Structure 1
Amino acid sequence: MTDRILIVARMRPDSADAVAGLFGASDETELPRVLGVTRRNLFRYQDLYFHYAEFAGPASEAMAVARERGDFRRLSDELSPHIAPFDPATWRGPADAMARGFYEWTGDAR
């Protein structure tokens, strides 16, 4: 089963290269494989940050494992000068930054 998430946050305008570098370094470690991450895309639009990730299994299980790992917490700490919650007043954790899907369509592979 493939699962996916989309995280929405705010990013400093000059931070795209730093954020890409942090994820590039992390993606060369065991962390994405342990979590079952099979694809990651980072996007920005003005001051918004979009982090799309696909998982080999349930994303909720991967995120539960991630929270217990020092390397994941370190990456989160390193990202914190660059990435901020979309709405700091309501943010309690990463789940508060995840977009909720409401429509999906897949075309024929011709």
Structure 2
Amino acid sequence: MLSAIVVNRMEPRYADRVAGLFADLDATDFPARMGTRRRELFAFDGVYLHIQDFPDSDGLAVIDEAWRDADPRFVKICADLTPIVPPYDDTCVAHEDHIAVRSYAWEQS
């Protein structure tokens, strides 16, 4: 399984709005189309964390495909989120610039 963690900024007052946007998206077939197994959103001191689990390591390729295909639901949620969940680092230009890099993993066998 792959966990992709998107790191951005978010003012606490937007937490419910962002959760609602994802609840609406997750009520469609879009998560299944992307292979999303689980999604969690966290906020901590102005930092926004969006954890998305995929069944295998091709999860990031699926995100890339959603960008290339320009699925209207993906385009819409990105447009809705952009003004209220800005990049953590203003130098980020591509969506993969917002994804945390794993530095350690352990799993019980």
Task: Flag whether TM exceeds 0.5 (same fold).
Answer: yes
Give 1:21's aligned residue: 20
10-19 vs 64-73, which moves further: 64-73
Q: State the Cα distance separating 1:99 from its structure 2 match.
A: 0.4
Which residue identity is paired with 2:38? R
In the alignment, does 2:15 pair up with 1:46? no
In the TM superposition, structure 1's runs of 4+ consecutive aligned residues that sit over 2 Å from their partners are none
How many residues were matched structurally?
A: 106
How high is the sequence identity, in percent, across the aligned residues?
Answer: 31
The equivalent of 2:93 in structure 1 is 92
Conserved 8 A contact 2:4-2:60: no
The answer to whether the 8 Å contact 2:8/2:88 transfers is yes
Which residues of 2 match residues 1-110 of structure 1 at below 5 A? 2-57=1-56, 58-67=58-67, 68=69, 69-88=71-90, 90-107=91-108
SS at match of 2:12: coil
User: 1:94 & 1:44 partners in 2: Cα distance?
Assistant: 19
Higher strand share: 1
| Pairwise CA distance, 1:13 | 2.1
- Gaps in structure 2 of 5+ consecutive residues: none
Give the structure-1-normalised TM-score: 0.90
* Alignment TM-score, normalising by the size of structure 2: 0.91
Is the partner of 1:86 in helix, strand or coil?
coil
Q: Show structure 1 runs of 5+ residues with no match.
A: none
Secondary structure at 1:65 match in 2: helix
Q: Which amino acid aligns with 2:30?
A: L
1:86 aligned partner, one-letter code: Y
